[in-house]
Structure 1
Amino acid sequence: MKTIRLFSVLLFALSLSSALSQAAKPATVSVNRIGDGPIITPELDQRMGGNIQGPSLIKVPKWIENPIGQYYLYFADHRGEYIRMAYA
């Protein structure tokens, strides 16, 4: 029984090692920062307040019908009062 268990563990380790060695290499990403200030500021709209949290930028996927921009930026108020979207 111990031999079967040991063989199973070794087989699992070998297959895991093989799978990890064949993992895809990460893609290279190029980022260019324009300006040195924040993208979203409280001055853009008085309703936003001063505690803007968690901006998330995505490139609009091709499967979106009639997109209003090429990029969507989602952001929220820290207190959870709203989630807003900007686009470009």
Structure 2
Amino acid sequence: MIGFLLIGLIAGWLAGRMMRGQGFGLLGNLVLGVVGAFVGGFALRMIGFHAAGLIAELITATIGAVMLLVLGRVLKQA
């Protein structure tokens, strides 16, 4: 459980850095990374990719968190 939260925190932070300051602080990034892990895992499984290992899980969570940030940016502009 702590490992999952740590991956979520790192993934949320990475996504915020990749999206140029779109992070939400420590707690927000943690939530974003954890939710992003589910979103990224689902999206990548749909195309046939399955994360196996710590680095792959981190990449998957980061991809999901970036997807959520992009979605949030699009919805904010609409």
After TM superposition, the score normalised by the length of structure 2 is: 0.30
Higher relative contact order (CA 8 A, sep 6+): 2
After TM superposition, the score normalised by the length of structure 1 is: 0.28
More helix, by proportion = 2
More strand, by proportion = 1
Q: Which structure has the greater CA radius of gyration?
A: 1
